[in-house]
Homo-oligomer: A and B are copies of this chain.
């Protein structure tokens, strides 16, 4: 995927700086099984509270199981389907709400699953692949179709694949894909020693 500049007050690692959520997937280039396993291994080695590993990921690989991919695709919101249709791999990230070792509620289930998903997206970027996480999908429908037990919460659908060559990105997609990346100022989300006190730079 192509590089989009970001503004930072201190340098950050290129792997973290370079990841962004594109939409222009190349339907003609598959993601190899080795790449998929590499991406999952990155999620597997994320940290978690008590080492409980509350994440569960369902993989939908169009090149090996079109039927499952179609079922996952049908759970996406229409706005996401419009571009996700070209992504060769879809993932569904689910979070366990119960600690496996004690049976107690796990209040870090979603937090830790978010960490695993981020590792996964960064590893994809390291392989030259693009990811895009989506909240816009029918969680209850995924629950029913894929028989996800009540204790697990479907959190995000994730597209994975290669980005289209820049010369082939056209129309509305081009405008969206080239939009600048932006974030809040550091002072809005990062505090110094007390709530709402802006971090000193």
Could you list which residues of chain A lie within 8 angstroms of chain B, going by C-beta atoms? 6, 8-13, 15-17, 19, 21, 33-38, 40-47, 49-50, 53, 55-61, 64-65, 67-69, 95, 107-108, 110-115, 117-119, 121-123, 126, 133, 135, 146-149, 155-156, 181, 183-184, 186, 188-196, 199-201
Contact = CB atoms under 8 A, between A and B. Distances in A.
Contacts of A37: 9-10, 186, 199, 201
This chain's copy number in the assembly: 2
A60 B192 CA distance: 7
A67 B6 CA distance: 35
Contact of A110 (B59, B65, B110, B195): B110
Contacts of A115: 114-115, 117-118
Given A115-B115, A123-B13, A199-B59, A192 B65 contact: yes
Nearest to A17: B45
Contacts of A119: 16, 118
B189 A56 contact: yes
Contacts of A12: 38, 41-42, 45, 123, 126
A68 B181 CA distance: 34
A104 to B, nearest CB: 12
